[in-house]
Structure 1
Amino acid sequence: MQTSTAQVRQDPSRYRVLTGDRPTGPLHLGHYFGTLQNRVELQQLGVELFLVIPDYQALTDRDTADRPAELAEEIVLDYLAAGVDPEHATIFTHSAVPALNQLLLPFLSLVSVAELHRNPTVKDEIAHSRQSSVSGLMLTYPVHQAADILFCKANLVPVGQDQLPHLETARTIARRFNDRYGAAVFPTPEALLSAAPMLLGTDGGKMSKSRGNAITLGADEDRTARLIRGAKTDTERRIGYDPEQRPEVSNLVLLAALCEGRSPQEVAEEVGDGGSAALKRRATEAVNEYFRPIRTRRAELAADRSHLRAVLRAGNERANAEADATLAEVREVMGMR
């Protein structure tokens, strides 16, 4: 069920990728090194990209979506600044593609309630939910994601290890639909596991849009410096790279290394006995130098919000054409025409 980057490089034209980001806040450095950078590389190889901004799914762990249209534009801004080319990538919002969401009903009929309850990712999300009770949307989240993936017949999905159970639900639904109706309508999507290490937030916890511990792509150089100065480290003078024993220090080492194109071990050795202050200066300089052209591009794009909306309109049109065609095919094989 997994595809390697080497396989993609051999024949990029055979792959269609679906991935995206919920509009719950601005994208940050963890998103960039975890997914955005990889998406740009895939596009440059010639892989067809569908990038969904799942605004409906922003409701999975909250009562209401906060400024979904505004945040969707911000995500488009981050995509374009990072190098995604809207001429060759379909960027769209979930709510603007009604035929996609119509796939949810037949897909729900293909999975049992017990299977939904057993999904380990859902169980973890429920355990960490900020709500006093969990909605049905949370429980059916993997089926929504299956509709996102399968409406455009994506056959490759970049995921982290923790998202594999969601992808397995999509694979199961694709197989069961094809078997039940005797037609090869959907491909069985494969995983493209991210090789990027996870960046921690400045507090040492998971970098998150909602925890206030992230350096966003749109942060200016002064704010970046303040956030890194306040990042959690330890009291040991000698800087080393040991993610297990010294996660916070190693996180700053890794951040500097990613921006410099060096190994973490090299960066740690060069900082040496300089301590946390020297490490933070090194990380700040590396981040600001690496992201300077991206931030300049982002500021230029932000000056013309109409362009961002035009990108979304064009993407929504392309996504609707794909979804309408897939839904027509589904209704045909189900005898519902």
Structure 2
Amino acid sequence: MDHVVLTGDRPTGPLHLGHYFGSLASRVALQGTCPMYVLVADYQVITDRDVPGAIQANITALLLDYLAVGLDPAKVTIFQHSAVPELNQLLLPFLSLVSVAELRRNPTVKDEIAHSSQQAVSGLMFTYPVHQAADILFCKGTLVPVGRDQLPHLEVTRMVARRFNERYGPVFPLPEAMLGESPLLRGLDGGKMSKSRGNAIALSATPDETAALIRKARTDSERLITFDEAARPEVANLLTLAGLCLGRAPQDVAVEIGDGGAVALKKVVTEAVNEFLRPIRARRAALTETDVRAVLREGNERARERAVITLEEVRDAMGF
């Protein structure tokens, strides 16, 4: 089976190392092996907030992150949600295929509601998984790189595709999840790594900013550094981060640090992260906003061509 990959991010702030090891690295490895669509999900910014914030600046920063880590616009289609109206027209027929009760049960939606900055939960929050279904199915996506917390959303997409095919005829594939093999990185405060929670190292962070963030990371009082995810989660998380950046097992990094304590641990992590980010920073510095605008313009045109075809198939199948 020839796969079509759909992936992307909301432009709500800089991407961080959790994004890189969780999904960006796999996107770079996959590009060129199959068609890939990378979505700048600007409309979805207002899912859990009242205003989009510095949306244009965030879109530019997101594109710079994409290009800096090695995504090649000659091999992938990078496009902007709001620039493809045909994609969003799929939302209406898709909403008719799911119940309110099914949307309410979605555990990922429940978690996002809990961390929402909105005073009241919007209807868009509940329909977010169906909106994501439109994102995936407009290009007939068959493979979606996701974290485990996003699996319930992908199951909604599969349900929408299955019910549409049963009701109107075979139009959509049932997409599969592509789970990253990298260990889960937690935030520097021990919680879930998140742009909005200020506990992550941005890919665009300077060496000094990176060092300052790691200095503030939680550890414990034991001098001997060991890798024990259950008993010492904060220390294990820093060792995992260093191991990913160095391409080594975190247990080996711990042995090397020995009884150096938290100071030595943080020094190793800082050096590993800064060396890992060095080529990414160099590529980013060589890019301009003109480069970003050209990439997005060309990607929007290609994505819209695909969306027009899919929407026509949907209309024909439904009898409109």
Structure 2 distance, partners of 1:132, 1:324, is 36
Answer yes or no: is 1:333 the counterpart of 2:317: yes
Provide the residue aligned with 2:36 in structure 1.
49
Structure 1 distance, partners of 2:186, 2:110, is 22
Answer yes or no: is 1:226 the counterpart of 2:217: no
**Which of the numbers 89, 93, 102 marks the counterpart of 1:102?**
89
Provide the residue aligned with 1:163 in structure 2.
150
**Which of the numbers 192, 212, 216 marks the counterpart of 2:202?**
216
List runs of 5+ in structure 1 lacking aligned partners: 1-10
Corresponding residue SS for 1:192 = strand
1:148-297 map, 5 Å: 148-182=135-169, 184-297=170-283
Answer yes or no: is 1:79 the counterpart of 2:63: no
Q: Match of 1:321, as an amino acid?
A: E
Q: Match of 1:18, as an amino acid?
A: L
Corresponding residue SS for 1:242 = coil
CA-to-partner distance for each residue in 1:102-154, whole Å, 9 max, x for gaps?
A: 00000001111111111111122222322221000000000000000000000
Provide the residue aligned with 2:12 in structure 1.
24
Q: Match of 2:316, as an amino acid?
A: E
Provide the residue aligned with 1:6 in structure 2.
none
Structure 2 distance, partners of 1:125, 1:206, is 12
Q: Match of 1:258, as an amino acid?
A: L
**Which of the numbers 281, 296, 320 marks the counterpart of 1:312?**
296
Structure 1 distance, partners of 2:196, 2:105, is 26
**TM-score if structure 2 supplies the norm length?**
0.98
Answer yes or no: is 1:128 the counterpart of 2:115: yes
CA-to-partner distance for each residue in 1:144-196, whole Å, 9 max, x for gaps?
A: 000000000000111111111110110011111111112x2110101111222
Corresponding residue SS for 1:51 = strand
Structure 2 distance, partners of 1:103, 1:296, is 40
CA-to-partner distance for each residue in 1:230-251, whole Å, 9 max, x for gaps?
A: 1111101110111221111111
Corresponding residue SS for 1:206 = coil
Provide the residue aligned with 1:39 in structure 2.
27
Provide the residue aligned with 1:5 in structure 2.
none
CA-to-partner distance for each residue in 1:31-51, whole Å, 9 max, x for gaps?
A: 11111111101115x122111
Q: Match of 2:182, as an amino acid?
A: A
Structure 1 distance, partners of 2:190, 2:284, is 28
Answer yes or no: is 1:113 the counterpart of 2:100: yes
Provide the residue aligned with 1:8 in structure 2.
none
List runs of 5+ in structure 2 lacking aligned partners: none
Structure 1 distance, partners of 2:317, 2:237, is 51
Choose 224-233 or 81-90, whichever is displaced more. 224-233
Structure 2 distance, partners of 1:326, 1:206, is 36
Structure 2 distance, partners of 1:213, 1:191, is 27
Structure 2 distance, partners of 1:125, 1:225, is 30
Structure 2 distance, partners of 1:118, 1:263, is 38
Shift of residue 68, structure 1, vs aligned partner:
1.4
After TM superposition, the runs of 4+ consecutive aligned structure 1 residues lying more than 3 A away are: none
Shift of residue 212, structure 1, vs aligned partner:
1.7
Structure 2 distance, partners of 1:211, 1:120, is 20
Answer yes or no: is 1:323 the counterpart of 2:307: yes
Question: What is the identity percentage for the equivalent residue pairs of Structure 1 and Structure 2?
Answer: 66
Q: Match of 1:177, as an amino acid?
A: F
Corresponding residue SS for 1:140 = helix
Provide the residue aligned with 1:142 in structure 2.
129
Q: CA RMSD in A?
A: 1.1
Shift of residue 278, structure 1, vs aligned partner:
0.4
Shift of residue 335, structure 1, vs aligned partner:
1.2
Q: Match of 2:11, as an amino acid?
A: P
Structure 2 distance, partners of 1:68, 1:128, is 20
Q: Match of 1:33, as an amino acid?
A: F
Number of equivalent positions? 320
